[in-house]
Amino acid sequence: VMASKALVQLKPDSSSLRGRDGEARYSTVEMVAIEGVIASNVMAMKARQNHGVFKRHVDAAIAAQDRSIQAVSASPGQGLSAEQRHAIEHVTGPGQIAVVIGFAGAGKSTMLAAARHAWEAQGYRVHGAALAGKAAEGLEQSSGIASRTLASWEYSWQADRGRLNARDVFVIDEGGMVGSRQLARFVDEVKRAGAKLVLVGDHEQLQAIGAGAPFRAIAEAVGHA
């Protein structure tokens, strides 16, 4: 393995690349190239500020979500938390890419439901995706965003159906579970279409099944709520 031409040793740009045991970290030429493309694509998307939502739409969506929470809540004055409001304002900002990190049960779905109202009021179409069918179903039920698996989206794009355009917002839930190869294809497709990409997840929860930890890397590169 060590003699393979495909192997590259990663240079430590910080202490994090070398484990506590001081051992070197390795990757493959292909993987470094894939992750390099992801990095350059997301930085270009961060710079493109063309997906803003008017403040009045965001405020109206937050107020509507507060009312629906109060309708089912026993305690008066219950509504979105300050963190949820910040996340809604973050994802409805003008950048072509946005990342939200939230623990399980932190209210990401409720936040996305409000964001969906704001995006739709601005005239965007909102689509959802997740690695697992169960997660896609959960996203759709809890946020009202019509959702499918990542594999289903890729299959339809290969057949040239359901292509995105600049009026689309593409939400990937459980983003931390998506490997670098697959996420690279989605970043590329969304960027090419001029759509907006919103990644939601928790990089400390379940790790990607495939190789790489692109969600964490993207969150560090473009910032997150």
Q: Is 146 helix (H, G, I), strand (E, B) or coil?
A: coil
What is the extent of the structural domain holding 154? 34-222
Q: How does residue 15 score in pLDDT terms, banded at 50, 70 and 90?
A: low
Is 142 domain-assigned? yes
Predicted local distance difference test score (pLDDT) of residue 19: 55
Our count of domains for the chain comes to 1
Question: Residue 152's pLDDT band (boundaries 50, 70, 90)?
Answer: very high
Whole-model pTM: value is 0.89
pLDDT at 16 over 90: no
Hunting for tokens 């497709």 — which residue is that? 189
Give the residue from 112, 24, 93 showing the smallest Cα distance to 54.
Answer: 93
- 17 assigned to some structural domain: no
- Cβ of 155: how many Cβ atoms within 10 Å? 13
Residue 22 C-beta-side C-alpha neighbours within 13 Å: 0
Mean pLDDT in residue range 34-60 = 93
Residue with the larger pLDDT of the pair 220 and 73: 220
Average pLDDT value over all residues in the chain: 89
Say yes or no to pLDDT of 130 above 70.
yes
How far apart CA 196 and CA 15 sit, in angstroms, is 34
Residue 83 in domain: yes
Between 2 and 14, the more confident residue is 2
Residue 70 has a pLDDT of 82
Q: Would 89 be classed as within a structural domain?
A: yes
% of the chain surpassing 90 pLDDT: 67
The pLDDT of residue 11 is: 77
109, two tokens: 């779905």
Residue 119 pLDDT class (50, 70, 90 cuts): very high
User: Residue 213: CA atoms inside 13 Å, Cβ hemisphere, count?
Assistant: 12
Can you give the CATH number for the domain in which 122 is found?
3.40.50.300
Domain membership flag for residue 100: yes
In-domain check, residue 214: yes
Task: Give the residue with greater pLDDT, 190 vs 76.
Answer: 190
- Answer for the pair 201, 139: CB distance below 8 angstroms, yes or no: no
pLDDT of residue 8 exceeding 80? yes
pLDDT at 186 over 90: yes
Provide mean pLDDT across the span 189-203.
93
pLDDT of 18 > 60? The answer is no
Q: With bands split at pLDDT 50, 70 and 90, how would you rate the model's confidence at 105?
A: confident
Name every residue whose Cβ is closer than 8 Å to that of residue 218 and which is 6 or more positions away in sequence.
38, 42, 97, 99, 183, 199
Query: Residue 207: its pLDDT value, please?
Result: 73
